[in-house]
Amino acid sequence: MIQSKSLGRWLALGLIAGVASVSAAPASAQSTLDTVKKRGKILCGVSPVAPGFSYADDKGVRRGFDVDICRAVSAAIFADPDKVEYVPLNTNVRFQAVQSGEVDILSRQNTWSFSRDASLGLDFGPVVFYDGQGLMAPAKLNVKSASELADAAICLLPGTTTLQNLEDFFRPKNIKYESVVFENSDEWRNAFFNGRCDAITTDRSDLASVRAIANDPSQYVVLPETISKEPLAPTIRQNDPNWRDILNWSIYTLIGAEEKGVTQANVDEQLKSEDPEIQRMLGVNGDFGKMLGLDNKWGYNIIKSLGNYGEVFDRNLGPKTRLGLTRGPNELWTKGGLLYAPPFR
């Protein structure tokens, strides 16, 4: 048995050497931070096309809310938000990509749920976007509520919590419907725009993206029901507490900065602020960066490159963008929302 095992190992080594191009397998002994530093960039899994969250602009540069989360971590580590390589991942392979080390952070519209957290070998960072599943229908159908959708065909994407949420919503009401599931999100949208389905369902933020792409967005209405809770949170591999702390506190820095009124524009002035928490956040005082294994100016670097949470939101999703989302639950706790950063202390 020992012999066969070592022979197996030898064979596998030979195979790997032969193939020569080995995918970036995680060395379990090495921390993600070390790996990232050595590589010189973060591998960041994102949605292939999701306007507002992750999309390539007309110059081919990837932009969006999810993209900015990875850029924040990059700014924290490298003092440069652009040391990121984006890996577009569809819903089917995203978690495997994290598990196998193909990406360091999965910053994609994925829902933090119990079974994913407990059984997939994953850890979730803080919720960056409080979302919920909604439905959208063409305005001419004159649908006022999701409960009217009996016998309707509904277009979905596979492999998300979407399909089960829909069933959970309709089953108690005894409403029958037809589901048409597409792997390819282009086909999924087109099927809806062409009238193959009477409604489309996904997270409300994503519905806004779909609507933004339509020839005439005003022909589509998002129905009032939010049929599920979808706390969207970036995902990392389990058992790397340092990496998790870096992710967590990069995001809390964005939120905390908004609480304290620190913006991209005034961050240099704020370095002189008397507020001790701002001082710690921006690395003027205390060794908070060192505790994470980073430069003490990490917080300053994040805000300097990206602005605070509110600025990131407004730039990518806010009322002035094509998505035109309002803050809703994604407002600071001090303003009636759910965003709350633990103290920098």
Partner 1 sequence: MRVDAMSGTRLLYNLRFRAILYQVIAVGSIVLLGLYLFSNVSQKLAEQNIATGFGYLSREAGFVISQTLIDYKPTDTYGHAILAGIVNTVWVSAWSVVLATIIGLFVGIARLSRNPLLALLAFLYVEALRNVPLLLYLFLWYALIVTSLPAVREAWEILPHVFLSNSGLTVPSLLWTGAHTIVLLALVLGGALGIFVHRRATALRISTGKTRTTWPWVALALLVPPMLAILIVQPDLTVSLPEKGRFRLTGGAQLRPEFTALLVGLALSASAGIAEIVRSGILSVRKGQWEAARALGLRDGLTMRLVILPQALRVIIPPLTSSYLSLFKNSSLAIAIGYPDLVMVSNTTMNQTGQAIEGIAIFMLVYLGLSIMISLFMNWYNSRVALKER
* Residue numbers at the binding site for partner 1 (CB under 8 A): 4-5, 7-9, 11-12, 15, 28, 91-92, 95-96, 99, 115-116, 119-121, 141, 148-153, 155, 158-161, 163-164, 166-168, 171, 177-184, 187-188, 190-191, 194-196, 198, 237-239
Q: How many Cβ atoms sit within 10 Å of the Cβ of residue 314?
A: 15
Q: Quick check: helix, strand or coil at residue 198?
A: coil
Query: Residue 135 or residue 303: which is nearer to partner 1 going by CB?
Result: 135
Cβ proximity to partner 1: between 159 and 217 the closer is 159
First to last CA, the chain: 55
CB of 251 to partner 1, least distance (A): 23
| Nearest distance in Å: CB 299, partner 1 | 31
Q: Which of 219/326 has CB closer to partner 1?
A: 219
Closest contact distance (angstroms) between CB of 92 and partner 1 is: 5
**How far from chain centre, in Å, is Cα 99?**
16
Q: Quick one: CA dihedral 314, 319, 322, 327, positive or negative?
A: positive
Residue 185 CA: distances (Å) to CA of 27, 49, 50, 102? 34, 8, 10, 22
Minimum distance from residue 221 beta carbon to partner 1 (Å): 15
The least distance separating partner 1 from the CB of residue 1, rounded to whole angstroms, comes to 10
Q: How far is the CB of 261 from partner 1 (least distance, A)?
A: 41
Identify the H or E element spanning 124.
strand 122-124
* H or E element at residue 167: helix 162-170
Tell me the CB-side half-sphere exposure of residue 2, using CA atoms within 13 A: 0
Cβ proximity to partner 1: between 190 and 326 the closer is 190
The residue (of 169 and 288) whose beta carbon lies closer to partner 1 is: 169
Q: What distance in Å separates the CA atoms of residue 203 and residue 133, rounded to the nearest whole number? A: 4
Residue 222 CA to residue 144 CA, distance in Å, equals 9
Structure-block tokens of residue 300: 């300053």
For partner 1, the closer of residues 61 and 181 by Cβ is 181
Q: Nearest approach, Cβ of 70 to partner 1 (angstroms)?
A: 22
Q: For partner 1, which is the closer residue by CB, 40 or 172?
A: 172
Query: Of the two residues 211 and 237, which places its CB atom closer to partner 1 in the complex?
Result: 237
Helices 309-316, 65-78: inter-axial angle, 10-degree rounding: 140
**CB–CB of 201/226 below 8 Å?**
no
> Shortest Cβ distance from residue 159 to partner 1 (Å)?
3
95 with 106: CB under 8 angstroms?
yes
Distance (Å, whole) CA 70 – CA 117: 20
Nearest-angstrom CA–CA distance, 296 and 285: 9
